[in-house]
Structure 1
Amino acid sequence: MKSTIAAILALAATAQATVQGFDISHYQSSVNYAGAYAAGARFVIIKATEGTTYTDPSFSTHYTGATNAGLIRGGYHFAHPGETTGAAQADYFITHGGGWSGDGITLPGMLDLESEGGATCWGLSTSAMVAWIKAFSDRYHSQTGRYPMLYTNPSWWTSCTGNSNAFVSTNPLVLARYASAPGTIPGGWPYQTIWQNSDSYAYGGDSDIFNGSLDNLRKLATG
């Protein structure tokens, strides 16, 4: 599986093409999936869960709407590191919509790593944070056969993991940076797989750009 991920990322890195996408949650109560598809979007990442107690109330509606519009889609989990184990949160995510199947239209799940309120690094040391992420990633892999994508920004990754390069060969990077270019990539990744380049997308949610062709995107969804 590591070699498969590496091949996908290598293809994405060398490709000149990009694919528009977006991500959404219940904050987007109405999403124009068909309009997004007509405008060129081909994928959407949908919030499914947080921690081990919260499920996004719009997940099923969004997932069905995205599927009906022909979009490649997947779920994401907003991490609460340290509140419960990484393995427990991976299980919760998988049980509530974040699983993966090799149908060619389902992205591997995404682990959303960022601060919330005053919990900059959720009270964890850098080594404990890396261990927590690894526990989530390993459990997700053992249950689905895929490693999750990791969503983060350079500041958080540097502060909270010590700019760890532990996930370069396994987990695709989803980089959050609202700018005209991705900029410096954290964590030893040579490039991002997906770049969240704006917190505003015309058809709903945040704008995401896949670093590769549509064929590369389909390979990411296929495994």
Structure 2
Amino acid sequence: MKSALVASIAFAAAVKAAVQGFDISHYQPNVNFAAAYNAGARFVIIKATEGTSYIDPSFSSHYTGATNAGLIRGGYHFAHPGQSTGKAQADYFIAHGGGWSADGRTLPGMLDLEAESAGQCWGLSASAMVAWIKDFSDRYHARLGVYPMLYTNPSWWTACTGNSGAFVNTNPLVLARYSSTVGTIPGGWPYQTIWQNSDSYAYGGDSEIFNGSLEGLKRLARG
């Protein structure tokens, strides 16, 4: 009975484990990565590209700074669905910072799916949006051997994909919800891999919480 109780407590502790991280872009040109690491952050996701013509001007310096500070790091791509193919945007992302290798320090690339000036769903139907995301995701996987993380929020995912569950078994979810709780998770994912819980982090950008232990985060980085 005692051993079962110890195992139960250990399991509960593992479930509640979390790792602080953050995400940034050129809107945060000066980031003290060493201070963020010393304060407990262990990963950062850095904007690399948009569409097929934009490279974030701070990506290179941010990536170098994060690497030097010992942070696990990766790039993200702001999607322009329908303006070019998912395949073309995946190739552009990979060519300009979105690559991945199983070194334990590089996160799979993240596809940022949200509304912009082109409209809530970029002019695409739910089925067309799902097909576009799959085109991007499959191309990324074919080239690098790992699926990209998908960043979204419940309202966008429901409106623009019809709350599709097509990516549950392949793509880790990065859930944006600025609240004290995760809330309802869209798309049939049983849990979020990363939770963007605030649009303000002490060392710049948005706060992100990895849903697991540091070793779990390293496993994600190893693919």
The TM-score with structure 2 as length reference comes to 0.93
Q: Return the offset for 1:151.
A: 0.1
The residue aligned with 1:92 is 92
Aligned length: 212
Matched, 1:45 2:45: yes
The residue aligned with 1:149 is 149
Q: Return the offset for 1:168.
A: 0.1
Query: Matches of residues 95-134 of structure 1 in structure 2 within 5 Å?
Result: 95-134=95-134
Query: Matches of residues 157-168 of structure 1 in structure 2 within 5 Å?
Result: 157-168=157-168
Local SS of the residue matching 2:119: coil
Tell me the amino acid that sits aligned with residue 49 of structure 1: T
Local SS of the residue matching 2:64: helix
CA distance in structure 1 between the partners assigned to 2:29 and 2:97 by the alignment: 18
Matched, 1:184 2:223: no
Local SS of the residue matching 1:83: coil
Local SS of the residue matching 1:30: coil
The residue aligned with 1:3 is none
Gaps of 5+ in 1: 1-10
Tell me the amino acid that sits aligned with residue 122 of structure 1: W
- CA deviation profile, 1:10-64 (whole Å, cap 9, x unmatched): x9xx622100000000000111101110010000000000000000000000000
Local SS of the residue matching 1:60: helix
Matched, 1:58 2:49: no
CA distance in structure 2 between the partners assigned to 1:189 and 1:32 by the alignment: 34
**How large is the RMSD of aligned CA atoms in angstroms?**
1.2
- Greater CA radius of gyration, 1 or 2? 2
Local SS of the residue matching 2:16: coil
Matched, 1:213 2:213: yes
Gaps of 5+ in 2: 1-10
Q: Return the offset for 1:119.
A: 1.1
- CA deviation profile, 1:97-149 (whole Å, cap 9, x unmatched): 10100111000000000000251100000000000000000000001000000
The residue aligned with 1:198 is 198
Runs of 4+ with deviation above 2 angstroms: none
CA distance in structure 1 between the partners assigned to 2:144 and 2:44 by the alignment: 20
The residue aligned with 1:68 is 68
Percent same amino acid at aligned positions?
80
